[in-house]
Structure 1
Amino acid sequence: MINTDTILASARATILSESESIAGLTEYLDDDFVTATETIFNAKGRVVVTGIGKSAIIASKIVATLNSTGTPSVFLHASEAIHGDLGMVQPGDVIICISKSGNSPEIKVLAPLLKRYNNTLIGMTANKNSFLGKESDYILHAYVASESCPNNLAPTNSTTAQLVLGDALAVCLMQLRDFKSEDFALYHPGGALGKKLLLRVGDMLDATHKPQVSPDCSIKKAIVEISEKRLGVTTVIDNNKVVGIITDGDIRRMLNDRDNIAGVKAADIMTKSPKTIKTTAMATEALNTMENFAITQLVVADDGVYKGILHLHDILKEGII
């Protein structure tokens, strides 16, 4: 029978073991890490990240992180490199070679070849005195005392340490490049994340549903406009400028307060100076405004010129929230 307590204890021990290994990495950060970061930042070429086995998987993830944060990078599998793929390494490229032991047969063959164009070789290894450590120009010391594997064999703590060092390198490079959210958006245009960072109010406006009435129009006309455009609101426009807004809530309150609506004009019940937003504003800014003022529609206007109505449903439809 499966022992639940045993499983949970093992899981907790693994997490604690890996977290302690990660925390220990701070003791191994030195001038090599600084110089390696500066070398990548100043490089004319790309960053080529290579490894074998589980380290190759980590190398692939580091490449993805670097690419998405402004550092052009490519992945080179160590075993494939010595069978033809070494041609992707070009002059000016900086190479990061990942190997826990630094002494695997593939690494011993590959490491000297990686420097054939006088490329800078950065070794990420747990053993600074290994073959890779001695061949490298700079070392990112990914030392761990042991694996969390009960046999101290399966790469666990060591691969986590490699991943964390790669993240640390990427973040340092982001700061050197002054990499902002706007830059990040350019590399992530798809999905909800891209839309949060790139989508603007003007991109969501429906020009075919642009409710508007004049200040002196009848309430009946205002009600018809609200109903036909199906946005629960109409703007009040004078000389193409927004002077007010009438919501279906305003209509209900007027009907509750008045027995006779004959002669009532739009200007009599409109809310003056409604909340507005520009077409160039980010969709997230519009959403925050709606949340802050507990409203579901925003008048879109550029310098007072009416452009349309943005409804909360327009934002929801884009999948931003």
Structure 2
Amino acid sequence: MSNVELPQGTHFQQAGKRVLEVERNALAQLDQYINEDFSRACEKIFQCRGKIVVMGVGKSGHIGRKIAATLASTGTPAFFVHPTEAGHGDLGMVGSGDIVLAISNSGESDEMLSLIPMLKRQHIPLICMSSNPDSRIGKVSDIHLCIKVAEEACPLGLAPTTSTTATLVMGDALAVALLEARDFTREDFARSHPGGTLGRKLLLRVSDIMHTGDQIPYVDSDALLRDALLEITRKKLGLTVICNNLMTIEGIFTDGDLRRVFDMDINLNDAKIADVMTRGGIRVGANILAVDALNLMQARSITGLLVAEGDTLLGIVHMHDMLKAGVV
């Protein structure tokens, strides 16, 4: 395959920076359209008892899918329907109580216009995003959100570039304004993202991943140091807890403490664990978020935590558990 030579005078960085400048300027101008119409749209969507049905054709459709996804993940039930498919049966997905958010830069999309009579007969509220409030869709919509831009970043003025960015940002503005109005929390967000890292970080609790029962490394205070070392080796968590038969915590001994013991000039065979253990031990409750336990480990530069209720040992959570659960 022959090499294709770049034309002389090609400046990729210059072209890229020009696009950023054009789109930055357009977004600065978009501020004027966050107005009373925007407030009315937010109020209408906030009060919606059904779902927000987003529609758009071509690049507007691609942007519409993202807006629907953002709304749905931030507390506003929404989904995308392609107008062409809506004209061939999918309009049945739109029901009483729903709102249609129609996206068309020109406001003259034939596919959208063909659906409007049926939407009107069903008394479905119509919010339109377009660059022209006097377009046919703009005129029949209940609320019009203007997304007009001065120019496309495409030097030909043809490829939707700045206009799609403006549409996307207007959709984000709607979603975030509604999120704040609903007092939507991090936990609410995690509930719609249970399969991802964010969901694991925000929903997973220490009780979900801690070691319990026979997995807990522990010895009593009368045990020899060598017995404690064997327990650390068997359970492979890098530590052992010193507690009585009621699992009342007296102290902790880690593989890091062993290095300190080497400097104490004591007989490793005869020393009792009670003489070299660290009393107490850093502990957390079973119900705290795993990510909070991880933050505590990192702050204290340790790899394991005691999970306890008061002085009663319930389990052990280790940094490796965080890694396996995807919290890190």
**Range of TM-score over shorter length:** over 0.9
Q: How does 1:35-114 map to 2 (within 5 A)?
A: 35-114=40-119
Partner of 1:241: 248
Q: Which runs of 5+ in 2 are unaligned?
A: none
Please, what TM-score do these two structures have when normalized by structure 1? 0.95
Partner of 1:310: 317
User: Which residue of 181, 198, 220 maps to 2:186?
Assistant: 181
Please, what TM-score do these two structures have when normalized by structure 2? 0.93
Is the Cα–Cα contact under 8 Å of residues 112 and 135 in structure 1 kept in the other structure? no
Letter in 1 for 2:314: K
Partner of 2:223: 217
Per the alignment, in what secondary structure is the counterpart of residue 63 of structure 1?
helix
Letter in 1 for 2:82: H
CA change 1:120–1:159 in 2 (3 A) is: same
Q: Percent identity?
A: 45
CA RMSD of aligned residues (A): 1.6
Instruction: Give how far 1:261 is off.
Output: 4.4
Is the Cα–Cα contact under 8 Å of residues 211 and 308 in structure 1 kept in the other structure? no
Instruction: Give how far 1:262 is off.
Output: 5.7
C-alpha separation in 2, matches of 1:262 and 1:59: 71
Partner of 1:172: 177
1:126 aligns with 2:131: yes
Letter in 2 for 1:182: E
C-alpha separation in 1, matches of 2:49 and 2:189: 21
Partner of 2:300: 293
Q: Give the stretch that moved more between structures: 75-84 or 280-289.
A: 75-84
C-alpha separation in 1, matches of 2:129 and 2:75: 21
C-alpha separation in 1, matches of 2:47 and 2:91: 23
Q: Give the stretch that moved more between structures: 166-175 or 237-246.
A: 237-246
User: Which residue of 200, 207, 216 maps to 1:202?
Assistant: 207
C-alpha separation in 2, matches of 1:203 and 1:4: 60
C-alpha separation in 2, matches of 1:144 and 1:272: 67
C-alpha separation in 2, matches of 1:234 and 1:107: 68
Deviations 1:230-278 (A, max 9, x none): 1111001133211210112222322331243465322211111211111
Partner of 1:227: 233
Instruction: Give how far 1:151 is off.
Output: 1.0
Instruction: Give how far 1:69 is off.
Output: 1.0
Deviations 1:175-199 (A, max 9, x none): 1111000001110001212111111
